[in-house]
Amino acid sequence: MKLSHFQFNLPKELLAEYPAENRDESRLMVINREKKTIEHKTFKDVIDYFGDGDVLILNNTKVFPARLYGNKEKTGARIEVFLLRELNSEQRLWDVLVDPARKIRIGNKLYFGDDDSLVAEVIDNTTSRGRTLRFLYDGSYDEFRNKLTELGETPIPKYINREVTPEDAERYQTIYAKEEGAVAAPTAGLHFSKHLLKRLEIKGVKLAEVTLHVGLGTFNPVEVEDLSKHKMDSEELRISQAACDIVNSAKEKKKRICAVGTTSMRAIESSVSSARTLNPFDGWTNKFIFPPHDFSIATCMITNFHTPKSTLMMMVSAFCGHDLMKKAYEEAIKEQYKFYSYGDAMLII
């Protein structure tokens, strides 16, 4: 498969700028790989496809307010700072992206907040837009983290061309988010409401939680025609023994195992034993899944509709089958499904 196989034209009006009014009332396209059929449902109908002993694998990462705006010393120029990951908590060192990057050099200081109560010094360049910052703040580590939360805003994707609203802080977060560390939401999970999860549990569906802290690498454009030459950024991943036990027991009983989102799928495919069972994991993964790929754990997946040429779309193609996925995307455009983070969902069985 080549990069050009994943190009398609998406009408601008199909980009979802806001979430559906109710989480579980977005639209759901159901794709049956065996029968090659496509059905149109509402997300809460997902309950009809799962029964006693089936498993949903959820990514419980929590988005933190990663986007800050500061002012450059002397010139006062407004600079966007996007927090990627903490490098050293004692020294308050962070990997960040800055915009506009051409104005930010090693040694520059940035001031945040109306009272300039938080200051950062640029101590290294990492990539064209990447910098390492040392934050200077009078206070304990917990007070410093609270300050970042207070000054930061929800990092809704750049293509959403509007101001961040208070609603985004709640809606750009799954209802089961627990482990803070993601700079983007695992968007397939945004469709689950508390009520729907409760109904699934009453039906006997088991939930296995993994933690994959989504970084911006997930959305980095693929710039090579030969997909085998693309390198994914590493993202932090934890899979507990308890999650493995739930998944492996269901696998043994030949129950349906559903990866909720590409991040959950990437998580479980990063830690497979030689017997094709799920292993515990605590570390980093840069797993890149593209066709052809032999999936070991999940028998179905829930995902959103993704951007052309994205690594997310490549994974879906590997799982769904490329021709069937192309047909589904054509149908989604014809039927006016909403795309991307706040968009509609598909269930591939």
Q: Convert the pLDDT of each residue in 171-217 to its tens digit.
A: 999 999 999 999 999 999 999 999 999 999 999 999 999 999 998 77
Domain ranges of the chain: 3-63+169-348, 67-153
CA distance 333 to 339: 9
CA distance 306 to 341: 8
Token reading at 326? 């192309």
Mean pLDDT of the chain: 95
- Coil, strand or helix at 214: coil
pLDDT at 336: 98
One-letter amino acid at 77 equals A
- Give me the residues of the chain with pLDDT under 50, please: none
Say if CB 322 and CB 291 are below 8 A apart: yes
DSSP 233: P
115-138: per-residue pLDDT in tens? 888 999 999 998 788 999 999 998
Burial class of residue 72, CB neighbours in 10 A (0-12, 13-18, 19+): middle
Own/partner pairs, 73-78, CB within 8 angstroms, 24+ separation: 73/108, 73/109, 73/110, 73/111, 75/103, 77/103
Give the side-chain half-sphere CA count within 13 A for 194: 2
Q: What is the CATH number of domain 3-63+169-348?
A: 3.40.1780.10
Q: What is the CATH number of domain 67-153?
A: 2.40.10.240
Give the side-chain half-sphere CA count within 13 A for 44: 11
Pairing outcome for strands 257-260 and 300-304: parallel
**Single pTM value for the model:** 0.94
170: region left, alpha or beta (phi > 0 left; psi from -120 to 50 alpha): alpha
The H or E element containing residue 70 is strand 67-72
Burial 213-250 (b: 16+ CB within 10 A, else e): bbbbbbbeebeeeebeebebeebbbbbeeebbebbbeb
Residue 155 φ then ψ, to 5°: -85, 60
pLDDT at 280: 98
215-230: per-residue pLDDT in tens? 877 777 899 999 999 9
